[in-house]
């Protein structure tokens, strides 16, 4: 049975280089012999490197992450990931929490912490919605400024220059759907 220490690091954007480097350093210091990394938002529909990580680990291995939020987006996501790891006989260690699911206490703590994190996020979202409703009632809330619409002229110019919708989205750092919405509205 192998006993590899496998790391997984994730940052939300490519602008968070220091955060990624810190995670990689911590994972190396923890003894990880293989590290998977990706730079994409936790709300992304797929996380290819996490999927590769989960395919890679074998019975007896330990998956190590620096913090819980680098691994899971919600309690449901956490449960799915930990169930996949458990089915393969792989332990999970979260460095910032000194938590290791190879122990019964670690398993219990992971479930408790995940539930508390989700509860905290729901409370934060509820407070945010209440604040927005209050600001709207007072006429102070205008919403977020539309970033893509402000770049409509650039989108049309780049399309006229022969760039594809995907290339325009990447160049202007706006969503692909926004590019196609602007092009459709201009037609």
Q: How far apart are CA 66 and CA 62, in angstroms?
A: 13
The answer to whether 8 touches 39, Cβ cutoff 8 Å, is no
- Sign of CA pseudo-dihedral 80, 82, 85, 89: negative
Provide the β-strand partners of residue 11: 39
State the catalytic residue, choosing from 2, 12, 41, 42: 12
Could you give the residue ranges of the DSSP H alpha helices within 75-103? Answer: 75-88
Provide the β-strand partners of residue 9: 37
Is 12 annotated in the active site?
A: yes
Catalytic residues: 12
């Amino acid at each position: 049975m192998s006993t590899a220490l496998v790391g997984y690091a994730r940052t939300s954007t490519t602008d968070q280089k220091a955060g990624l480097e810190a995670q990689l350093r911590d994972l190396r210091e923890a003894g990880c012999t293989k590290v998977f990394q990706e730079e994409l938002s936790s709300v992304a529909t797929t996380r290819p490197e996490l999927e590769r990580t989960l395919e890679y680990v074998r019975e007896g291995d330990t998956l190590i992450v620096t913090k819980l939020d680098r691994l899971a987006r919600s309690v449901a996501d956490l449960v799915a990931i930990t169930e996949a790891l458990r089915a393969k006989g792989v332990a999970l260690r979260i460095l910032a929490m000194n938590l290791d699911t190879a122990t019964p206490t670690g398993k219990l703590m992971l479930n408790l912490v995940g539930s508390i994190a989700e509860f905290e996020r729901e409370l934060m979202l509820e407070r945010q919605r209440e604040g927005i409703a209050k600001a709207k009632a007072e006429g102070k809330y205008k919403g977020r400024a539309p970033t893509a619409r402000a770049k409509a002229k650039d989108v049309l110019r780049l399309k006229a220059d022969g760039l594809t919708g995907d290339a325009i989205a990447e160049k202007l750092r706006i969503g692909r759907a926004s590019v196609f919405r602007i092009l459709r509205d201009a037609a």
